[in-house]
Amino acid sequence: MMVHEMTQKELEDKIKEAQEAYYNSNPIMSDIEFDELWEQLKTNYPDSEVLQDIGNDSNDGFEKAQHIILMGSQNKATKVEEMDAFFKKGEKYIASYKLDGISLEIQYDNGNFVKAVTRGNGFVGDDVSNNVIKMGYVPKVLQDKSFTGAVRGEILLQKSVKDKYFPDAKNCRNMASGISKRKDGLDCDKLIVMCYDVQSTDKSKNWSTETLLNEWLKSNGFIVAPYTEAKTWTGKEAIDYINDIFSKLETIDFDIDGIVFKQQKIDWNDKVSSYRPKTNIALKPKYTQATSILRSIEWKLNNGTFTPVAHFDAVELNGTMVENASLANISLMEDMGIEIGHEIIVVKTGMIIPKIIKDVTTGKFAEGYAL
């Protein structure tokens, strides 16, 4: 979808409205639509202060607490050229799942749990300690008794848990947000926290690489966002990697909305002083997608030509429920091997028209749609 040209104020107002809605569990647009607005603002008005803003997820009724980690966001990319410009020649990077949950900081003093704080405005957030301590994979006492500092992660509702306990919930993220802010802590034990960053209050714990940082997290009882071994990358390899991961989202039991590439060698000055670290970038998919099951195929006559229309289990795409899509012609069906009962991937092209781009059962894509 091409966003029409707007003035700086129009773009800033729309972005701030979308940020507030998103961080308070009431999104008004898809990630792709938001990213297009952001890209237009960054391109046309690079000095806009909004580009340094990360939104605010704080709610009234919770005590506020200061962060130890500067809880900013990631620079974003969607194209080969952007990734090529990011990667430094000869430098190694890990690729980590970009979790689509509720951002959280967990604070420790000499290895003992102190408090847990939401992202808020990046500096101060809501103290949700009483709820977080009930969640899975939040150790009260660390193996490393000398650690004083903070661990950063995301509160997640796993898909399998949502299906079992909250089948009517619109999506995992909104449900996780609502549960994590409950005053009585009900159902917080059904959430987990998955981590990806840590920072001590003294320089003795400044790990030299992302791999060592992740190994410390795992050795102290946290679960870590899945990541690759450190290697050099090209833009094409990065795109191929995200295409592979997003073509099998149905095998991942939690929501992700991209892949974060992190320079293996940690630049601590960059990490502690920037809203958007220069050594990290989030690669986002081109399309909003969902997985469904094909239930029937109807043949419709249009201008003397029969066109197959697929009917599948309803899925949410960009805020609307979708349950059918044109298959264009029989050759498309034959190329993908589509049959009733197969698992399929559906996207919205141009944010408007639903399209089946992959038959998961056969593993075949529609021509030109490798995510």
More confident residue, 11 or 125: 125
| Cα distance between residue 133 and residue 115, in whole Å | 9
pLDDT at res. 2: 41
Min mean pLDDT across 103-117, 258-272, 277-291, 316-330 is at 316-330
Element (H, E) at 360: none
121-157 per-position pLDDT tens digit: 888 999 999 999 999 999 999 999 999 999 999 999 9
177-225 per-position pLDDT tens digit: 999 999 999 999 999 999 999 999 987 788 999 999 999 999 999 999 9
331-363 per-position pLDDT tens digit: 888 888 999 999 988 887 655 678 888 888 888
The arithmetic mean of pLDDT across residues 304-320, rounded, is: 82
Averaged pLDDT of the chain: 86
Which candidate, 336, 327, 338, 279, places its Cα nearest to that of 305? 327
C-alpha dist (Å) from residue 363 to 92, 123, 212, 244, 344:
31, 45, 36, 11, 9
> Regarding beta strands 76-77 and 280-283, do their DSSP bridges make them parallel or antiparallel, or are they unpaired?
parallel
Catalytic option among 14, 98, 115, 181:
98
The arithmetic mean of pLDDT across residues 266-282, rounded, is: 87
Q: How many CB atoms lie within 10 A of CB 131?
A: 24
For residue 269, give the 3-state DSSP assignment.
helix
Q: How is the chain split into domains, by residue range?
A: 8-52, 77-283, 289-365
| Cα distance between residue 232 and residue 93, in whole Å | 6
pLDDT at res. 24: 63
Say yes or no: domain 77-283 is CATH 3.50.50.60: no
| Cα distance between residue 74 and residue 257, in whole Å | 12
| Cα distance between residue 217 and residue 232, in whole Å | 24
| Cα distance between residue 28 and residue 86, in whole Å | 30
pLDDT at res. 307: 82
pTM of the model: 0.74
| Cα distance between residue 216 and residue 199, in whole Å | 11
More confident residue, 33 or 110: 110
* CB burial of residue 105 (10 Å; 0-12, 13-18, 19+): buried
Q: How many CB atoms lie within 10 A of CB 365?
A: 18
Domains 77-283 and 289-365 share a fold: no
pLDDT at res. 250: 77
For residue 281, pLDDT over 90 is answered with yes
pLDDT at res. 113: 98
Residue 358 among the catalytic residues: no
Q: What percent of the chain has pLDDT over 90?
A: 50
What is the architecture, at CATH level 2, of domain 289-365?
A: Beta Barrel (2.40)
For residue 268, pLDDT over 80 is answered with yes
pLDDT at res. 335: 86
Q: What percent of the chain has pLDDT over 70?
A: 89
